[in-house]
Structure 1
């Protein structure tokens, strides 16, 4: 191998002469400066900073590798409010019986038509269905009692024809049999010609024609209930006749009551349907009062105290979603909205600044979907605003622009300004001259 000789300016064996001080110092400074510049460029590149250029790859590197398209869809704003699951507000039963309370049902008991609500002086107070309250005694008037007593001895004639006392010749046909040819004509005397059952009309029929028979919508309501309980043999109408009285006696016998044929004001209580017993306001041995018991309906529902200023969603039949404590959701429907706003109670701390509220009642059609829960705090979700057929992107795609407002970063690193609209379900409505459906935008880190 050939060796390379290096010529030196000093003699052999002598130490090499040091280079000039000025040139070496300048070279060291230049090398150090170059290293600093390279390091700075590396840091800038790592941070994704620096201006763009015309050469490929000179734009800012992506903040994240994910891009999403601008899509056209319908945005729906959903809002949640707190509510309470239960059976609704308890209201007093309109009990009119007087005396001493001798029996009370357990709280939560369901009572249907014909069931006993409580006992006063050991007499049952029975639940019937209707909207008209019991306001008078129902029974035969003095003019019809004599005919009824006669009709009791022969309730049916030879051909099964049964007449109502006070019907003035009209026949009752509970068995569907045609009226006999001997039936008296309307307007004739109550003891009409030739019918073997005419005794049921007798004297009372004439009295009924003169106003002696008890008539009214309350009679119709009571007779409808009596027939629904299976005590028939009379015409369900607005007249309380001898046949009605006989059915009442059979009903009273089943209840263990004296068979008088007369219904007292305190013997029944009307409601729109079956009821669920609430709490009692009296104890056994206490005098019966008109608020001795409270009740609710038997269907579970949700009550929301909605802000009076933000209750536009609460309209009848509006659909909502109810989130239960176990994480499941059930469908509900707005049934009623209160018309009176309630101001927050004073001295409630943070609640003092709360807005007045109105009660919104929400029903649940599928009661089985609620499970066994009878009372629980729930969350109600309702639909607020809605924007159909709009361009949207995930909210995370929005970036703040230096000049103000919001923008989107395109896949190639450009920024375009956009106008935002409705925010819902993690997306936002966007619009602008540079935004189009299908364009890809970047999700910044």
Structure 2
């Protein structure tokens, strides 16, 4: 067998051991590998090449968010009577102030995460007692110990508080007379009018927080994007961008749309993500507008990358890339990592930053 025949057979064997990755990465042109004669076909253009880069590779996903004041909550009546006062929409209600009034008696906003669920009176104990006493102390009332016990001293301080509010001085705290929220609230809308009759369970008003935020609803399949304290980028309607941080994540159940028969469809589970921005003033003037929120689904810092189209699927399994070395070229196997933005993380022998690889046409 002549030297020429051996070279031809060797070239054919190498080509036979490599197939192009067509379905997965869109490579559509065959390339040859040999001692150097394949860098350019006779009369044809030389193959395209790219450089191996070292970079932080990030898989970014964009979803639509709503600009506003975050999630909306509903204040529901716990007392029967007549609505006699409501704060204006858009106004702010702070701790110790009336959220609304029933029968001309105030229903007061306090701060805390545990809802009021029972009447507090001397002899009672529990975390709800401690939460209420913290609020009572914050409002300037003293003479009692802030703990989980509702004592006679607590009742005395409550009478002083009730006198300040113009409420009957009973020393007891009815659950229907207080509403707890995490912090001060902004009145979003009225669900009842002054003069309406109320009964337990009836919505009176809707409220939000006071900070300008971005709210995003994600499908459950995209829950991986929702990581507390994760950094995001918000693209505003005027094309400006502002940095943001995921502040809260909640699972919410949305009722299905009513069909022709009037019955609701299947409920849908969503992940509600609230994003706080570094500069809340940047959101001014965009109430209820839409904005794009860019999440980082995955990130790999300081890795070697090549264009996805440079990958070759090897017959024996796995992937490789064709190194361009002067007038010669050779294939080396690589291990792939993150795919993002048209590039892929790779590791392999003889693969370093600045290496030139062939990108099949």
1:248 is matched with which residue? 158
Select which of 225, 229, 234 maps to 1:313: 225
1:284 is matched with which residue? 194
What SS does structure 2 have at the residue aligned with 1:254?
helix
Greater Cα shift, 415-424 or 294-303:
415-424
Task: Looking at secondary structure, tell me which structure has more helix per residue.
Answer: 1
Conserved 8 A contact 1:76-1:383: yes
Q: What is the CA-CA distance between 1:377 and the residue it aligns to?
A: 1.6
CA RMSD of aligned residues (A): 4.3
**Residue ranges of structure 2 left out of the alignment (5+ in a row):** 1-35, 260-267, 314-318
Q: What is the CA-CA distance between 1:286 and the residue it aligns to?
A: 0.4
What SS does structure 2 have at the residue aligned with 1:119?
strand
Select which of 59, 69, 80 maps to 2:51: 69
What SS does structure 2 have at the residue aligned with 1:136?
coil
Select which of 290, 294, 301 maps to 1:381: 294
Q: What is the CA-CA distance between 1:229 and the residue it aligns to?
A: 0.8
1:368 is matched with which residue? 280
2:270 is matched with which residue? 358
Q: What is the CA-CA distance between 1:259 and the residue it aligns to?
A: 4.5
Conserved 8 A contact 2:53-2:353: yes
Instruction: Return the TM-score normalized by structure 2.
Output: 0.66
Q: What is the CA-CA distance between 1:118 and the residue it aligns to?
A: 0.9
Greater gyration radius: 1
Distance in 1 (alpha carbons) for counterparts of 2:298 and 2:158:
59
Cα 1:103–1:394 change in 2 (3 A) is same
Q: What is the CA-CA distance between 1:386 and the residue it aligns to?
A: 4.2
List per-residue Cα deviations over 1:205-232 (Å, max 9, x = no partner): xxxxxxxx53333444433322211122
Q: What is the CA-CA distance between 1:61 and the residue it aligns to?
A: 8.0
Conserved 8 A contact 1:410-1:441: yes
Distance in 2 (alpha carbons) for counterparts of 1:428 and 1:235:
62
Distance in 2 (alpha carbons) for counterparts of 1:214 and 1:274:
30
Conserved 8 A contact 1:323-1:330: no
Cα 1:408–1:79 change in 2 (3 A) is farther
**How is 1:126-205 mapped onto 2 (pairs within 5 angstroms)?**
126-130=108-112, 131-136=114-119, 138=121
Conserved 8 A contact 1:339-1:358: yes
Conserved 8 A contact 2:233-2:242: yes
What SS does structure 2 have at the residue aligned with 1:239?
coil
Q: What is the CA-CA distance between 1:114 and the residue it aligns to?
A: 0.5
Highest RCO, 1 vs 2 (Cα 8 Å, sep ≥ 6): 2
2:215 is matched with which residue? 303
Cα 1:346–1:72 change in 2 (3 A) is farther
Conserved 8 A contact 1:407-1:415: no
Residue 331 of structure 1 pairs with residue 210 of structure 2: no
Distance in 1 (alpha carbons) for counterparts of 2:282 and 2:108:
30
**Residue ranges of structure 1 left out of the alignment (5+ in a row):** 1-52, 139-212, 348-355
Residue 271 of structure 1 pairs with residue 181 of structure 2: yes
Q: What is the CA-CA distance between 1:346 and the residue it aligns to?
A: 9.1
What SS does structure 2 have at the residue aligned with 1:266?
helix
**How is 1:55-134 mapped onto 2 (pairs within 5 angstroms)?**
69-130=51-112, 131-134=114-117
Task: Looking at secondary structure, tell me which structure has more strand per residue.
Answer: 2
1:32 is matched with which residue? none
Q: Would you say how many aligned residue pairs link Structure 1 and Structure 2?
A: 304
Cα 1:297–1:266 change in 2 (3 A) is same
Conserved 8 A contact 1:214-1:239: yes
1:14 is matched with which residue? none
Q: What is the CA-CA distance between 1:117 and the residue it aligns to?
A: 0.6
1:427 is matched with which residue? 343
Instruction: Return the TM-score normalized by structure 1.
Output: 0.55
2:7 is matched with which residue? none
1:214 is matched with which residue? 123
